[in-house]
Amino acid sequence: MDLTKHGHACVVLGDGERRLVIDPGAFTDPAAFDGADAVLITHEHPDHFEPQRLRAALDADPALEVWTNGSVAARLDGLGGRLHVVGDGDAITVAGFDVRVHGELHAEIHPEIPRIANIGFLVDGQVFHPGDALTVPDEPVATLLVPMHAPWSRTADLIEYVRAVHADQAYAVHDGLLNDAGLGVVGGLLGERGPGTPTPFSRLVPGDTVEL
């Protein structure tokens, strides 16, 4: 399997001719949909889910299907059997990939802001995309995608999260709001200049691909 980083929170997983797109939001180039077999959406925030772009991709490819939670699905009426609602604990097959769903709620932004639904996806037992939450799956994770920066996060919590998941490797996502200085500071604390984790951490530039 290979992993390609796209804008902000979006990644594309590929295996041969199969391509799975996760969280193509408003900061993602629509080219991320090129050749896609399926789309996974963790939650409804626009940096993860942009309805007009997603509908355009669905209109362009009648075979494209979407898996997501109920709140996102409610904004995608008219798709019939191409839209699938999933939740915590579900195990599904998506475009030939085995996908397990973990988590239920978005991380708390502020006590006075209601928490929305958020699910994470573990693909082929290898790559876990948590969306906007620090969900620890109850099964091993080879590659963890770490939400590097958000209005709801502290770097200290991210360090503890990486330690708790104890993956073989970790890559940054959710980094589109950081400038170069911020990327260096947060990346250093999660990596070699921080207090330490058992997991090597690195960041891909949008467009980069790694083989897992």
Contact (Cβ atoms closer than 8 angstroms) between residue 170 and residue 130? no
Backbone phi, psi, residue 181, to 5° = -65, -45
Residue 99 has pLDDT above 90, yes or no: yes
Per-residue pLDDT of 16-64, as tens digits, reads 999 999 999 999 999 999 999 999 999 999 999 999 999 999 999 999 9
The three-class DSSP label of residue 168 is: coil
Asked whether residue 176 carries a pLDDT value surpassing 90, the answer given is yes
CATH fold, domain 2-105+116-205, is: Metallo-beta-lactamase; Chain A (3.60.15)
Q: Rounded to whole angstroms, how far apart are CA atoms 169 and 106?
A: 23
Q: How far apart are CA 94 and CA 96, in angstroms?
A: 5
Residue 192 has a pLDDT of 84
How far apart CA 47 and CA 44 sit, in angstroms, is 8
Percentage above 70 pLDDT, the chain: 100
